[in-house]
Amino acid sequence: MQKPQANSPWLWVPSLYFAQAIPYVVVMSLSVIMYKDMGISNSDIAFYTSLLYLPWVIKPLWSPIVDMFGTKRRWTVLLQLAVGASLIAVGTVLHLPTFFVVSLAVLWIMAFSSATHDISADGFYMLGLRQKQQAAFVGVRSTFYRLATLFGQGPLVVLAGYLAVSLGDVRQAWSIVFYVLAGLFFAAFAWHQWALPVPPDDHAVAKSDNPLRDFVGTFVAFFKKRDIWMIVAFILTFRLGEAQLLKLVAPFLKDPISAGGLGLTTSEYGIAYGTVGIIALTLGGLAGGWLISRVGLKRCLWVMVFAIHMPDLVFVYLSQTQPTDLMIVSAFLALEQFGYGFGFTAMMMYMIMVADGPNKTAHYAICTGLMALGMMVPGMWSGDLQEYLGYQHFFIWTCLATIPAFIVAALVKIDPEFGKK
């Protein structure tokens, strides 16, 4: 079968970033819902699933290896095969008496494979597209990434809820969901083996006679970038509020009214996140990418900073009023999803700008590792904080935690022409 031309990004950008998001969604979000269904406490869920961020935090430590050996294309497809095998393993261990510990261990292996896949896939994106295409497709990329997030929290959660009721066995229900995901990932492996183009620049970075010096030099070059500490501050603070909010969204929506939640069933949670939210997210992500490609990142940065943070107020309202109408809840969640899809494109393009250069794959991995650190540490304490404050005051706190992002956004330097089509 003839391989597609390198100028056919629609054949692989959407599917690549949908596939990139699935294991991240499983580790960070779907596992939260699953453990909530199995009776694990909010504090344990928040702490231990936040620790699963660690592979994304430390992935810069091995990102130069992806540059130094093999092609980004080969790394990408083989790691998709590894993730598929990990998904089967998770579905199998859920029936063990020690399922919580063992499943966390398997999820950690999946997280390691997924983090490495991120390195290769992001590097491939920058090699397979010209800079103007990168800006134009960043909205597509973020949209399909977020669609995978909603797929993991929408149809899959509905399926888990339906199977739990029909089978009368929560663990069996979640096992089937993980087997379905494994089948999806094996299909992604087969598709990308054919669909990914072969960019002429996709080859191992030239190595000197001192590989250790090359390895260390990659990190030194990154931290010698101009205004590096402002760059680090922007990446670490951009998602500070969301890092704490994200871990408690599912428990909040599923906890009973008497406990301060909204009392949604597992299936209702999936419907609220997986119907109207999908449309809003798609529009938000596409609008963000379009806006950056038209006016550049610098001119629309403030609009996007407001867009990603202001919808956090949605959860303040929901926790204060505790509406029981599923349509009302879905509408407010759709507003939050639109803002996130629109605003997060700014962070993606900013990291692409920072990573530009001869070590772009490794430097982009360092950027995303810093972003993961900014998600992991606040998320670890969020469960204890919520249990101490209650949902109402906790969501007010997460809104206050967005203030540093506004301050740093006012100080970062961006080329006015960067990102324009």
Q: Where are the domains of the chain?
A: 11-196, 225-420
Alpha carbon distance, N-terminus to C-terminus of the chain: 33
At residue 1, the pLDDT reads 45
Give me the tens of pLDDT residue by residue for the chain, a chain 421 residues long. 444 445 578 889 999 999 999 998 898 889 988 999 998 988 899 899 888 988 988 888 887 788 778 888 999 999 999 999 999 999 999 999 999 999 999 999 999 999 999 989 988 888 877 766 776 787 788 778 877 877 887 788 889 999 999 999 999 999 999 999 999 999 999 999 999 888 887 777 655 666 677 778 888 889 999 889 999 999 999 989 888 988 888 889 989 999 999 999 888 888 876 667 767 877 887 888 888 888 888 888 999 999 888 888 999 999 999 998 998 998 898 888 888 888 888 888 899 889 887 777 788 888 988 998 888 888 888 989 999 999 999 999 999 999 999 999 999 888 887 767 6
Contacts of 269 (CB under 8 A, 6+ apart): 33, 153, 157, 161, 250, 253, 254
At residue 188, the pLDDT reads 94
Contacts of 34 (CB under 8 A, 6+ apart): 160, 174
Asked whether the beta carbons of 32 and 49 are under 8 A apart, the reply is yes
Asked if the domains 11-196 and 225-420 are classified in one and the same CATH topology, the answer is: yes
DSSP 261: S
Q: How many other C-beta atoms can be found within 10 angstroms of the C-beta atom of residue 229?
A: 9
At residue 153, the pLDDT reads 76
At residue 209, the pLDDT reads 65
Asked whether the beta carbons of 186 and 46 are under 8 A apart, the reply is no
Distance CA 254, CA 252 (A): 6
pTM exceeds cut of 0.85: no
Asked whether the beta carbons of 293 and 304 are under 8 A apart, the reply is no
Could you tell me the two tokens for 112? Answer: 């390691």
At residue 421, the pLDDT reads 62
Q: Is 97 exposed, middle or buried (0-12, 13-18, 19+ CB in 10 A)?
A: exposed
Superfamily of domain 225-420: MFS general substrate transporter like domains (1.20.1250.20)
Distance CA 380, CA 48 (A): 7
What CATH fold (topology level) applies to the domain 11-196? Answer: Growth Hormone; Chain: A; (1.20.1250)
- Considering Cα of 217, then 219, then 222, then 223, what sign does the dihedral take? negative
Tracing tokens 């419907």 back to the chain, one arrives at: 271
Distance from the Cα of residue 156 to its chain's centroid: 17
Distance CA 41, CA 247 (A): 12
DSSP 63-121: HHHHHHSS-HHHHHHHHHHHHHHHHHHHHHHTTSTTHHHHHHHHHHHHHHHHHHHHHHH
Distance from the Cα of residue 334 to its chain's centroid: 18
